Amino acid sequence: MTGPVCIEIQNVSKKYKSAQENSLTDVSLNIAMSDIFGLLGPNGAGKTTLISILCGIIPQSSGTINFYHENQPVSGQERKSRIGFVPQEYAFYQELTPRQNLDYFGAMYNLAKIDLETRREHLLEILGLSKFADKKVGSFSGGMKRRVNLAIGIIHEPDILFLDEPTVGVDVQSRNAIIRYLREINSTGTTIIYTSHHMSEAEEFCKHIALIDHGRVIAKGDLTALRNEHEVSNLQSLFIKLTGEEYRD
Ligand SMILES: Nc1ncnc2c1ncn2[C@@H]1O[C@H](COP(=O)(O)OP(=O)(O)OP(=O)(O)O)[C@@H](O)[C@H]1O
């Protein structure tokens, strides 16, 4: 653990109405403040389902989730302003520019105009989008769209940031820019929970991980300790050792 607990997940299960089987079964995890926590697992393991529940987008079927800030419980209402979510799908208006998108989503968080403008320009600059700030997002490359998606998820400076595959389908430059920025905000206290299929990226980036398979947590903890315990030299080998070689599609 890097700090006090900020998310406590106890015995969470989820069965979608239309599904025969549980998508999550009895998931229990503690995530520490200021951690970079990787939720990893094969396709269909339940990562997006868990993130969606933690962000309050869908309800769990059973189990409890508590949020804390410096050891104090965080209420449902306060949670909204403390959490940021960068989904796998693009969550912006293609026909608007990055500036217009950021203004729109910033206003949804009730940011004061002057704060929103300062924050917007800072994010455009730091994510390499200033030159394109008044062009429609629909015309952007995959990497630029991912960076716009990230900027929208963090416009309100959340303490806890959830990212579902933030670097999928982007070139090395955009991947580096995104990871570098995430590291930077983590170093000033933002807790990061992220999913990825990119094992070498996750290995370098995460402090702790949970490996999920068929909706269950099959390994969790500090990466070095997990590698030692399972006698493997890297995360990819650990992943294959615990989830097997067969296809998951
Ligand atoms: N809305 C839904 N209704 C019914 N079943 C669903 C729904 N969403 C997801 N599932 C099922 O729940 C399981 C977990 O899916 P989920 O998308 O959470 O996995 P994942 O680990 O995020 O996968 P991927 O790596 O492919 O994104 C899968 O079997 C999936 O088919």
pLDDT at 2: 63
pLDDT at 62: 98
Q: Which residues line ligand 1 (CB under 6 A)?
A: 16, 18-19, 23, 41, 43-49
- Residue-by-residue pLDDT tens, the chain, 249 positions: 467 999 999 999 999 999 999 999 999 999 999 999 999 999 999 999 999 999 999 999 999 999 999 889 998 888 888 999 999 999 999 999 999 999 999 999 989 999 999 999 999 999 999 999 999 999 999 999 999 999 999 999 999 999 999 998 888 988 898 999 999 999 999 999 999 999 999 999 999 999 999 999 999 999 999 999 999 999 999 999 999 888 776
pLDDT at 55: 94
Ligand 1 centroid to residue 44 C-alpha, Å: 5
Any idea what DSSP says for residue 191? E
Residues 6+ apart with CB under 8 A from 175: 143, 167, 201
pLDDT at 170: 87
Any idea what DSSP says for residue 194? E
Ligand 1 centroid to residue 24 C-alpha, Å: 9
pLDDT at 18: 94
pLDDT at 77: 83
pLDDT at 145: 95
Ligand 1 centroid to residue 16 C-alpha, Å: 9
Ligand 1 centroid to residue 215 C-alpha, Å: 9
Domains and CATH numbers, the chain: 5-243 (3.40.50.300)
Q: With a threshold of 0.90, does the pTM exceed it? A: yes
- From the number of C-beta atoms within 10 Å of its C-beta (0-12, 13-18, 19+), residue 211 rates as buried
* Nearest residue by C-alpha to atom 6 in ligand 1: 16
pLDDT at 248: 74
Sign of the alpha-carbon dihedral angle for 239, 242, 244, 247: negative
ipTM over 0.90: yes
**Substitution candidate for ligand 1 out of 49, 61, 249 with most atoms within 8 A of CB:** 49
